[in-house]
Amino acid sequence: MRPAALRAPALALLLLSGCFKLDPFLYTPQRTDRYVFNPVGKDAESTVAAEQIGEPFFIPVTDQVQIAAVYVRATVQPPRAFALLFHGKGPHMAADGQFERAKRLANLGYDTLAIDYRGFGMSTDVTPTEAGIEEDTRAALAWLTAAAGGADRVFLYGHSLGAAIAIQRASIDPPPALIVESAFASLEELKVDASLMDFPDDYLAKDSWDSSGRIKSIGRALIIHGLQDDFVRPEFSELLYAQAKEPKQLVLVEGADHGTCAPMLGPRFAELVHGWVDQFIAAR
Q: Which domains does the chain have, with CATH numbers?
A: 4-32+54-280 (3.40.50.1820)
Q: Where are the beta strands (DSSP E) in the chain?
A: 57-60, 66-72, 81-86, 110-115, 154-159, 178-181, 221-226, 248-253
pLDDT at residue 17, rounded to an integer? 40
Per-residue pLDDT tens listing for the chain (284 residues) = 343 333 334 444 443 344 445 555 678 899 999 999 999 999 999 999 999 999 999 999 999 999 999 999 999 999 999 999 999 998 999 999 999 999 999 999 999 999 999 999 999 999 999 999 999 999 999 999 999 999 999 999 999 999 999 999 999 999 999 999 999 998 877 766 544 444 454 444 678 899 999 999 999 999 999 999 988 999 999 999 999 999 999 999 999 999 999 999 999 999 999 999 999 999 77
Whether the CB-CB separation of 174 and 154 falls below 8 Å is answered with no
pLDDT at residue 9, rounded to an integer? 41
Q: Specify the pTM.
A: 0.90
φ and ψ of 121, to 5 deg: 55, -120
What is the SS3 assignment for 137? helix
pLDDT at residue 105, rounded to an integer? 98
Q: Which of 108, 121, 126 is nearest to 37 (CA)?
A: 121
pLDDT at residue 23, rounded to an integer? 57
pLDDT at residue 90, rounded to an integer? 84
Sheet containing strand 110-115, edge to edge, reads 57-60, 66-72, 110-115, 81-86, 154-159, 178-181, 221-226, 248-253
